[in-house]
Every structure is written in C-alpha cells, then in structure tokens.
Amino acid sequence: MIKALKVAMIAYGVVLILVGLGVIIVPDKIAELWRLGEIADYSKFLLANAGAIYVAAGVGVVAAGRDPLQHISWVKFAITKCILTVVLSA
C-alpha cells in the first residue's frame, strides 16, 4: 500500500512539474489546450506565476513521495489539490 502511494505521489509530482514548466514556457499553447482561447499579455504573467506554484508543489510532492508517512501533510495537500481540481473543473 505504501509502495503504491509512493509511486502515485512521485508520478503526480512529476506531472505537476511538467504542467508548471509548460505554463511558464508556452502559455499560449497551454491556454489553447485548456480551451481558454486567445489570452491577453497580462494573463501570461498570471499563468507564469501559476506555473511557478505548480513547479514548487510538484517538487514538494516528489520529495514527500520518497517517505509519505514522514511527510503526511504533503500527502494531505496532494489529495486536497486533486479533489479541488476535480470539483472546480466540473
């Protein structure tokens, strides 16, 4: 059970890092992928900030994935973030 949690957290953390880097590097393509349409220049700044938060969260989740029991707060964070993402996307 712990092994599966480790794998899931590391995989989720890597996905967060990749999405964050994508938002930082190519915000126009990400906005198109998320069906936001054409975005204003000031929105790119906000997306870059969101990307930085995603990268930071991903690094924390990957680090916590090495020993989830020691970093239970990060496990709770990852679960809460997933639930909120699903609820807010619906």
Query: For the chain, what are the domain ranges?
Result: 2-89
- The pLDDT score that the predictor gives to residue 54 is 95
Q: Tell me: the pLDDT tens digits for 13-30?
A: 999 999 999 999 988 888
Q: Tell me: the pLDDT tens digits for 41-75?
A: 888 888 889 999 999 999 999 999 999 999 999 99
Q: Cβ neighbours of residue 37 under 8 Å, at least 6 residues apart? A: 31
Is the confidence at residue 90, as pLDDT, over 80?
A: no
DSSP string, 25-53: H-HHHHHHHTT--S--HHHHHHHHHHHHH
> From CA 81, how far away is CA 75, in angstroms rounded?
10
Within the chain, what is the greatest distance between any pair of CA atoms? 46
